[in-house]
């Protein structure tokens, strides 16, 4: 991404420093930053959504092929759930703990049904409540 040359505006030194800092942040840090910026400046990072026409019957019949694993609740065995998060996401201990404590959170996105079911089973075995979306 950084190597791509596009018609981008020249940045000030302050803006370059911000970009450098953002590049070094974890996903959880970025999510927290976005929430604070939305609150502070009264904006939303969500893209405007246009009202879609009623779906065609054929689209409804198609089976979903891509799933997101959403951790809804850690349950009483947080340590076990944190271990599963670390195993699946390769996050560090603090990031995994923060993710577990900030439920509901997407743990894995855009994966096949078999993998999503396997991950869901691991979480449920650890005592967590998980949904596939």
Q: Which residues pair with 129 in a beta bridge?
A: 73
The whole-number pLDDT of residue 57 equals 55
Pairing relationship of beta strands 67-73 and 129-132 according to DSSP bridges: antiparallel
The whole-number pLDDT of residue 45 equals 65
Burial class (CB in 10 A: 0-12, 13-18, 19+), 57: exposed
Count the alpha carbons within 13 Å of 16 in the hemisphere toward its beta carbon: 5
Other beta carbons less than 10 A from residue 35's beta carbon: 11
The whole-number pLDDT of residue 47 equals 58
Can you give the pLDDT of all 133 residues of the chain as single tens digits? 455 566 778 889 988 898 889 888 888 888 888 888 888 888 776 655 555 555 655 555 567 788 888 889 888 888 898 898 898 888 888 888 888 888 888 888 888 888 889 989 988 898 889 888 8
The whole-number pLDDT of residue 132 equals 86
CATH of domain 65-132: 3.30.1390.10
The whole-number pLDDT of residue 119 equals 87
């Amino acid at each position: 991404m950084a190597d791509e040359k596009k018609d981008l505006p020249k940045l000030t030194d302050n803006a370059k420093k911000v970009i450098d800092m953002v590049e070094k942040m974890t996903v959880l840090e970025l999510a927290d930053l976005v929430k604070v910026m939305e609150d502070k400046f009264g904006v939303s990072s969500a893209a405007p959504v246009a009202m879609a026409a009623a779906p065609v019957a054929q689209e409804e019949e198609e089976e979903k092929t891509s799933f997101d694993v959403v951790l809804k609740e850690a349950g009483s065995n947080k340590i076990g759930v944190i271990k599963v998060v670390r195993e699946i996401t390769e996050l560090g201990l603090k990031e995994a703990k923060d993710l577990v404590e900030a439920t509901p959170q997407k743990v894995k996105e855009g994966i096949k049904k078999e993998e999503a079911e396997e991950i869901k089973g691991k979480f449920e075995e650890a005592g967590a409540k998980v949904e596939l979306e």
